[in-house]
Amino acid sequence: MPVIVIANPKGGSGKSTLSTNVAGFFASRGHSVMLGDADVQQSSRLWLDLRPAETNRISTWELQADLVLTAKPPRGTTHVVIDTPGGLGGWRFKEVVTRADKLLIPIMPSIFDMYASQAFITQVREITKASKTKLGIIGMRVDERTIAANKLREFMAGLDVPIVGYLRDTQYYLHLAAHGLSLFDITPSKVEKDLQQWKVICDWLES
């Protein structure tokens, strides 16, 4: 059962946007998905509460966010996605990272966001060096053809962590989230450009 953890110590980096769409992708493929929200703000849980009944079902756990490490997915779950809080640290951080098969780190390409993530990435690499956890960076709210994307690539090359993909700045994510939807729940032609960006990310998730 693959466990995908979405993490970044900085608030507002796009963790919930990434988590809900990763969960939506797996559900669209017919998997039995659990989206666990370990953030006290419970943004992903709110998204699930807003989710229409006719969409592909995504379950969650029933627990307080601080008790994430004691949680077990519902019976029959095949894929787990965990949305983590900003500032996650200490033994909880180590346990969550250790349990991940894949860890996605969303980062916006500002100098502040990149340097704020540097120590976190170094710590993650230390924790996962003896495991098979795969790390990947997602450039958030950025066009990969821009100077900002080039700066992000240069910065991540120095940390030896691959950039899996980029997600552009579009209002679609906000509009869909307000209705409990992901890109994978609506007519593909409406979000064709965004689904093209997700293709490489989805391939990485399934590899």
Collapsing DSSP states into helix, strand and coil, what is residue 81?
Answer: strand
pTM as predicted: 0.92
What digits encode the pLDDT tens for the residues 71-115?
A: 678 889 999 999 987 766 666 777 778 889 999 999 999 989 998
- Single-letter code of the amino acid located at 35: L
The enclosing H or E element of 36 equals strand 33-37
CB contact burial 62-74 (16+ within 10 A = b; e otherwise): eeebeebeebebe
Question: CA-CA distance, 27 to 47, in Å (whole number)?
Answer: 14
In total, how many domains does the chain have?
A: 1
Contact of 139 with 109, CB cutoff 8 Å = yes
Strands in 102-107's sheet, in edge-to-edge order, are 58-59, 33-37, 79-83, 3-6, 102-107, 134-140, 163-167
The enclosing H or E element of 126 equals helix 111-128
Closest alpha carbon to 48 in 188, 170, 179, 174: 179
Q: How far is CA 54 from CA 40, 57, 69, 79, 86, in A?
A: 28, 8, 31, 20, 32
What digits encode the pLDDT tens for the residues 188-198?
A: 999 999 999 99
pLDDT band at 55 (very low <50, low <70, confident <90, very high): very high
CA atoms within 13 A on the CB side of 171: 1
Which of residues 143 and 26 earns the better pLDDT score?
26
Query: How many residues comprise the chain?
Result: 207
CATH number at residue 46: 3.40.50.300
What residues make up the domain containing 14?
3-206
